[in-house]
Structures are given as C-alpha cells and as structure tokens.
Structure 1
Amino acid sequence: MTSLDLLSPSVSGEYRSKCDLNLFNAVECKELATQAAKGRHFKVLMTTITEKAVQVRLCEDGYIAWLPLSEISQLEPAETAYQPNSLSRDEIELRLPEIIAFTKVAMEQPNYYLWGGTIGPNYDCSGLMQKAFAMSGIWLPRDSYQQEDFTQRIDKNDLLPGDLIFFGEQRVNHVALYLGDGYYIHSSGKEQGRNGIAIDVFSNQGDEVSRRYYNKFWSCGRVIKSYADCR
C-alpha cells in the first residue's frame, strides 16, 4: 500500500484539508510555494504522482503545487464541490474596511517575511493580500503578477483605499494594499524591505525603503470580483 492508497474516493471530485498544509513549487518539496489553511478545497491531479509527492490544484485560487505524499492522509473527501462567491463591486466595497483592518491587525502580531506564506502570522506580499481578502469572502489569485492581471487597471491618481499597488522591473513581483492619504501596507523581504508587514509612503519623498519601492512602481489595480477557476 502506498500513501496515495490512503486517499478515499470523493464523489464531488474534490478534497478538503483537515489541517494547515505546506505546498511546494517542485516535486522535491524543498521550496515553499504556498500554504493551504484548514478547510481549503483540493483537486488531486492523478496524472502527476511520484514517489515523493502528488500535484494538486487549489480550487479557491486555481493554484497548482506539490503536496508531499506523507501529508496525503490530511485530505478528506469534500461532500460538495467548492462554489465561488459571485460578488459585485458594490458588495466588495462594503468589505474593504475589514480587509484593511485585517492587514493592520496582522502587522501588530510578531511576524517576518515568509516566501510562500499565506496562512500567517508570516506572509509574503501576495500571500498577505490573498489572506486579507479571503477572510472577507473574496478570493484573489495566488501570486502578485496574477493579481495584477486579475484586477481592473486604474491610474495611480485614482487610487482608493483597498486598491492594490504593484511593483516590479521586468515584471510584477510585489504587491501592496493602498490605505489612503498616500500610504500602503505590505509584507516585504529582509534584503530590500522591512522583513515583514509594514506601512510605507507611496512617494519618492519617503525613507530608503519607500523610495526603493516607489522607483519600481508598475501599476495599480482595483478588485472588482472574486476569483472563480474556470477549469
């Protein structure tokens, strides 16, 4: 019997996580890609199985990653398939204050930047954005460049609290949440950021970290819907 034999058949074709799980970016399962909180829905891609891991797709954001076979027992059949929320922009706007509040509370907890972190207290940039919106029933894609493509493009002069600001050079590789009054909150790395969640000014008049990110400004986006995987 292999670890995969412990996976019970699922009538819905999906599974739910019984605990928080780490998912990886390659079959060797060495580098964290994302995390799946207890209760997330999975599709197990049976065509991509090795002795070490199985490839899975998270239903809420369509993200594909590797789950170690040693953790397969932490999946249980989902009685019903995941149903994405269908929210209007007006409904999303009503939830923006609690989304902003979530990020500020997260900042007050001891934390550091964690590549692949989406559960907390340690997040990467897009992981913090995804978790903040998900806690209010709104799903974003996993990575910052995917979030940039998913949102409605707006001019930086039209930024409103709850909009996203994207940064990068060759492509988008960082995202922040606009708070209003020229400030944003984000989780930035140790080498070029603040090694965790912090508030920075969206200007070239700020400190070294703020200026560094401002000089890498890419675009701004507005969340107008919740993600729904079409596959």
Structure 2
Amino acid sequence: MVECLSDSIEYICRENLDLYDSSECKTLATQARKGRYLRWLPEPQNQINRSTSILVQLCEDDYTAWLPTGDQNHLEMATQPYHAPVFSDAEIQAAIPQVIEFTQAAMETPNYYLWGGTVSPNYDCSGLMQAAFASAGIWIPRDAYQQEAFTQPITFHRDPLDFSSLLSGDLIFFGTPQKATHVGLYLTEGQYIHSSGREHGRNGIKIDVLSPEGDACIQYYFQQLRGVGRVISSYQPTASTHSLGL
C-alpha cells in the first residue's frame, strides 16, 4: 500500500486501473494494465488528503490522466525506474505477426467498444492498437492522432484503390481533414481490424475492408480515410505532460 505518493518516485500498478479525463473521475480516459509504470504530477489539485483524485502520468507513453485517490492502494514503489525499450525497424517488422495475432485473439474474445479501453476484453480503437504493439514490447502513443504523428507516413492511393505500398501491421487512420479520430491495423488485401463504436461501427473488434462499397460501416469509414502510417520505432518517453483527450 502507498501511503502518500511522491513526484520524485515511479510506481508500478499492481492491478488494472481506470484513469479519467478530469478530476471528477466520471469519464474514462485510458486504463493502466497491471505492471505499468506511472508517476504523480505535482499539480496544485494534488492535495492527497483532501482531493478525491490524483493527476498522474504513465511512464511508457507520457499520457496524463486522473487516478481516483483510493486506487493509490493498488500501486507499489518501483525498485528501478522505467527504461524504454529500443527496437530497430527490422525488429518491429519481425514482431508484426505477434501484433496481428493479439488483435485477432482479442476479436475472438467476447468484447464491446469501450471509450478509453486499453485492457482486455474491451477496447477503443487506439487502445487496441497500443495494446497490440505493447504485447510485443513495442510502445506507441495512446491516441489515434498521436499515433498518426508518431508513424512514418506511407503513400496510399485511394482513386483508384492501390494497396501495393501497404504492409501488414501498418496503421490506417480515419477522421476529419483536421485530425485523426479512428485507427485500425492493416492485414492484407484491403482488410483491416479495428474496434469501432455503436453508432457507426460494430460495437467491438471486427475485420472490415477499405472500399467505397459495402455496408454502412464500411462506407462510413472509407469516407473518413485519412492515410496510412508505419510503426518504425518504439516510443521514447519525454517525461513531459500531454493534454488529455482521445
């Protein structure tokens, strides 16, 4: 049990924890699976004896969110600080089959779309991507727009459709012209796997196809297709805070 968090110490999650997008802890922002590292951020709101939440930063991806004060009991002090793994491009490509296998196993497990979900069985789109790469020891940022900025852009022609430049394991980004709001993992022959929501998607993890034709879900995402990115490195933390938002 941690009696009082210190901003000079890193902690390890002993259980899967829910983290929230505000100090009121009403809306899930992300989740920290058992074994993840985090640090306490010394914000004025972090009056542990009087506040119901603590602003923390996850060490693997620099993501900031709010931890309910009572959940500090599920943390333990790390004996050594977090050290980010380093992978070459070739090593990452060799790990792609494991990444794909993770997403397919997640799809076969009963699940539904969970905004903020990064822990089995329920994921949001970018949470599934982050968890899949993390299963191979590779860290990518948390949110779709962050993942897009992190990856190497791959030229992709949509008119006419040409998948020849894509590799299995590439990330497919969707959204508005201003921002990526959705992401999936490319498989082969125009197919990609993703966790999509209830209103325009499958309410969980499914395989869809990049095509202007098909059911409402297929057409919806194809109309929002932004581009393709390739993971060529593992995220190296900067220990700086990032704004919240999925």
* 1:7-156 paired onto structure 2 within 5 Å: 7=4, 13-47=9-43, 48-50=45-47, 51-156=51-156
Corresponding residue SS for 1:66: strand
- Note the residue ranges of structure 1 that are not aligned, 5 or more in a row: none
Deviates more, 1:35-44 or 1:12-21: 12-21
Matched residue of 1:49: which SS?
Answer: coil
- What SS class does the counterpart of residue 46 from structure 1 fall into? coil
* Structure 1 CA distance for aligned equivalents of residues 195 and 208 of structure 2: 10
Write the distance in 1 (CA, Å) between the matches of 2:172 and 2:16. 29
Q: Distance in 2 between matches of 1:201 and 1:186?
A: 10
Which residue does 2:232 correspond to in 1? 224
Q: CA deviation at 1:205?
A: 2.0
TM-score (norm 1): 0.95
Q: SS state of the match for residue 227, structure 1?
A: coil
What is the Cα-based RMSD across aligned positions, in Å?
1.5
Deviation at 1:206, TM superposition (A): 2.4
Does the CA contact (< 8 Å) of 1:7 and 1:73 recur in 2?
A: no
| 1:103 alignment partner AA | T
Distance 1:224 1:171, change over 3 A: same
Aligned position for 2:205: 197
What is the distance in 2 between the residues matched to 1:206 and 1:99?
27
CA distance in 2, matches of 1:127, 1:199: 16
Shift of 1:13: 2.0
Q: Percent identity?
A: 52
Contact (CA 8 Å) 2:5, 2:40: kept in 1 or not? no
2:183 counterpart SS class: strand
In the aligned structure 2, how far is the partner of 1:96 from the partner of 1:206?
28
Asked if structure 2 preserves the Cα contact closer than 8 Å seen for 1:9 and 1:77, the reply is: no
- Kept in 2, the 8 Å contact 1:125–1:176? The answer is yes
Contact 2:6–2:40 (Cα < 8 Å) also in 1: no
Aligned counterpart, 2:171: 164
| 1:175 and 2:172 are equivalent in the alignment | no
Structure 1 contact 187–198 (Cα < 8 Å) conserved = yes
CA contact (8 A) 1:7 1:76 kept: no
Deviations 1:17-73 (A, max 9, x none): 111100000000000000000111001112241511110000011100000101111
Q: Determine the structure 2 residue equivalent to 1:6.
A: 3
After TM superposition, where is structure 1 displaced by more than 2 Å over at least 4 residues in a row? 7-10
Shift of 1:9: 5.8
* Distance in 1 (alpha carbons) for counterparts of 2:216 and 2:66: 37
| SS of residue paired to 1:146 | helix
The Cα of 1:120 is off from its aligned counterpart by 1.2
